[in-house]
């Protein structure tokens, strides 16, 4: 038996979408689509207000970095976001779509299901609830309380922003401290349901911030929730842990944190080509006598090749380690339709690979985290379908007599993907330009399906197997 727990809510998704690379919509689209398919009812627990305290972040990150990162002066509207028409229009667009939908179906959502119309309202909700979660009010020190100063951009001149890499792809944005504490909490709070007598399957599609380092941000990642999760698992006496990363980019932050550990195995399957971020993850970076595993792949990787990689290399290496807990980073930037246009995985194919790994280790606690993915409409489809696959395979609540649990929402008549449309829901109009078709990026003949040349060869796999003595 498995206990299924997921951290997701309108609040969490709106906080997650403060991250600039989320385009103020990625997480909200995912949350709404998961709800459209009624998937949350199949979870034993749904966490709606995740929160990590400053001390939680310090379990891995350095104190000077955390002191600067979650300083209260950043918990407000920053100068670059004030009167920014692009940001404001996107923030209000989803709320307006939801309001129009609710009015159309004559639905009056409860307070906890209402969207926050401004970032200030979102922060006030966070402030009230986070203070309530603190055991003692003196835990909230002055450095974490926002000032009433007008937005300023003087921080840009601060040498610490360069020291901590809070620029470029990791800028300081409005309400950055709230973002860090909520999204990290969404991963760590899953452990509140860890039990020695029951297998836990925990999900946070907003997590998987695998590039962050101990003393600096990197690659859109500020707090490394993966490392913090692994450290918490070790404190819970789960010594042997495996981390598998399917993101297009090398999981450098996690690998570096545990590169000398015999108990923590890190496996990263990623694109490795000259000039591609982060530039690490070659075979020479791996240590055969340790548990650092890099599987560098080339342009054009498809489902068939990745399935062979998983069955012939990833799974045997996991079996060799015999983990008590398994963390899978489910990045979707290798999918067909992603803006990187480097790999050509399908939603079904990548989901099948992840589910097969989960099924192979029935005694291990499993945590599924999000990751890269830069086509927001595509990512909402992926995480919704993968969530359905997880509940279909592992939910105890699906074992009842309720016929609605037995319905396959992704069953297509005669295998015709063109007949599978996005379910009606509050944000369905966001899929208008894609004709509301669920599988538009992997349908034969679709204008959105663009096949790539696969540069990965059988001899490359043979070389990998030889290197890892398989």
Residue 246 near residue 330 (C-beta atoms within 8 A): yes
Cis amide leading into 447 (omega within 30) = no
pLDDT in tens, 92-102: 889 899 989 98
Report residue 17 as tokens: 């979408």
Tens of pLDDT, residue by residue over 246-300, are 999 999 999 999 999 999 999 999 999 999 999 999 999 887 667 999 999 999 9
Count Cβ atoms below 10 Å from residue 5 Cβ, excluding itself: 22
Helix, coil or strand: residue 340: coil
Model confidence at 323, in pLDDT bands (50, 70, 90)? Answer: very high
Distance CA 114, CA 107 (A): 11
pLDDT single digits (tens) 104-125: 887 777 666 788 988 999 999 9
- Whether the CA torsion 285, 287, 288, 291 is positive or negative: it is negative
Residue 335 has phi, psi (to 5 degrees) of -80, 150
- Do the beta carbons of residue 15 and residue 212 sit within 8 Å? no
Contact between 4 and 394 under an 8 Å Cβ cutoff? The reply is: yes
Cα–Cα distances in Å, from 419 out to 60, 218, 253, 410, 414? 48, 41, 42, 10, 9
- pLDDT at position 147: 42
List all residues 6 or more positions away from 79 whose beta carbon is below 8 Å from its beta carbon: 151, 152, 153
Q: Above 80 in pLDDT, residue 439? A: yes
For residue 291, the model assigns a pLDDT of 92
Supply the DSSP symbol for 400: S
Each residue's pLDDT tens digit, 122-180: 999 999 988 877 754 344 444 444 444 444 444 444 888 999 999 999 999 999 999 99
**Closest Cα to residue 424, out of 408, 433, 436?**
436
CB atoms closer than 10 angstroms to residue 324 = 18
Residue 306's contacts (CB-CB under 8 Å, 6 or more residues apart) are 269, 345, 349, 350, 353
Q: Which of 336, 350, 337 is nearest to 433 (CA)?
A: 337
CATH code, domain with 218: 3.40.800.20
CA atoms lying within 13 Å on the CB side of residue 338: 25
Q: Are the CB atoms for 336 and 344 separated by under 8 Å?
A: yes
pLDDT over 70, % of the chain: 91
244 pairs with which residues across the strands?
A: 267, 328
Question: pLDDT tens, 16-66?
Answer: 999 999 999 999 999 999 999 999 999 999 999 999 999 999 999 999 999
User: Based on the structure, what is the number of domains in the chain?
Assistant: 1
Give CA–CA dist 33/425, Å, rounded.
Answer: 7
Catalytic residues: 211
Q: What is the mean pLDDT of residues 463-470?
A: 95
Q: Give the separation between CA 362 and CA 347, rounded to whole angstroms.
A: 23
Whether the predicted pLDDT of 381 surpasses 50: yes
Instruction: Determine the pLDDT at residue 260.
Output: 92
- Please state the rounded mean pLDDT for residues 184-189: 99
Q: Is residue 241 predicted with pLDDT exceeding 60?
A: yes
pLDDT (average), residues 411-436: 88
Q: What is the pLDDT of residue 290?
A: 74
User: Domain residues for 335?
Assistant: 2-467
């Amino acid at each position: 038996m498995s206990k299924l727990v997921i951290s997701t809510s309108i609040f969490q998704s709106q906080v997650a979408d403060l991250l600039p690379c989320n385009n103020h919509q990625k997480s909200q689209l995912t949350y709404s689509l998961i709800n459209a398919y009624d998937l949350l009812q199949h979870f034993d627990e749904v966490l709606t207000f995740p929160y990590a305290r400053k001390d939680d972040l310090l379990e891995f990150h350095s104190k000077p970095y955390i002191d600067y990162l979650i300083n209260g002066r950043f918990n407000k509207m920053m100068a670059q976001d004030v009167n920014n028409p692009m940001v404001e229009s996107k923030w209000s667009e989803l709320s307006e779509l939801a309001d129009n939908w609710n009015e159309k179906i004559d639905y009056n959502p409860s307070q906890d299901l209402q969207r926050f119309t401004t970032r200030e309202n979102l922060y006030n909700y966070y402030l009230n609830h986070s203070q309530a979660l603190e055991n003692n009010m003196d835990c909230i020190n002055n450095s974490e309380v926002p000032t009433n100063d007008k937005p300023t951009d003087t921080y840009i001149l601060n040498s610490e922003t360069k020291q901590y890499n809070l620029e470029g792809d990791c800028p300081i944005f409005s309400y950055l401290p709230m973002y860090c504490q909520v999204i990290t909490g969404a991963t760590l709070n899953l452990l509140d349901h860890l039990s020695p007598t029951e297998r836990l399957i925990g999900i946070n599609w907003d997590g998987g911030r695998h590039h962050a380092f101990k003393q600096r941000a990197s690659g859109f990642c500020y707090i490394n929730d993966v490392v913090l999760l692994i450290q918490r698992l070790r404190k819970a006496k789960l010594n042997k842990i495996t981390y598998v990363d399917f993101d297009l980019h090398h999981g450098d932050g996690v690998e570096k944190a545990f590169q000398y550990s015999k108990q923590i195995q890190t496996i990263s399957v990623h694109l490795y080509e000259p000039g591609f971020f982060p530039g690490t993850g070659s075979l020479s970076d791996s240590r055969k006598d340790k548990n650092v595993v890099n599987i560098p792949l080339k342009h054009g990787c498809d489902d068939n090749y990745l399935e062979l990689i998983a069955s012939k290399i990833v799974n045997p290496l996991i079996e060799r380690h015999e983990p008590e807990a398994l963390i899978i980073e489910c990045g979707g930037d290798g999918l067909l339709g992603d803006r990187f246009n480097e790999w050509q995985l399908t939603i079904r194919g990548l989901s099948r690979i992840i589910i097969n790994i989960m099924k192979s280790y029935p005694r291990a606690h499993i945590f599924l985290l999000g990751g890269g993915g830069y086509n927001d409409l595509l990512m909402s489809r992926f995480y919704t379908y993968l969530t359905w696959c997880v509940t279909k395979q592992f939910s105890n609540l699906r074992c009842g007599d309720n016929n609605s649990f037995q319905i396959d929402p992704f069953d297509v008549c005669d295998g015709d993907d063109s007949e599978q449309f996005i379910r009606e829901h509050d944000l369905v109009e966001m899929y208008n330009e894609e004709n509301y078709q669920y599988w538009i990026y992997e349908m034969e003949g679709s204008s959105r399906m663009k096949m790539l040349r696969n540069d990965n060869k059988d001899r490359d796999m043979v070389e990998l197997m030889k290197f890892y003595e398989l």
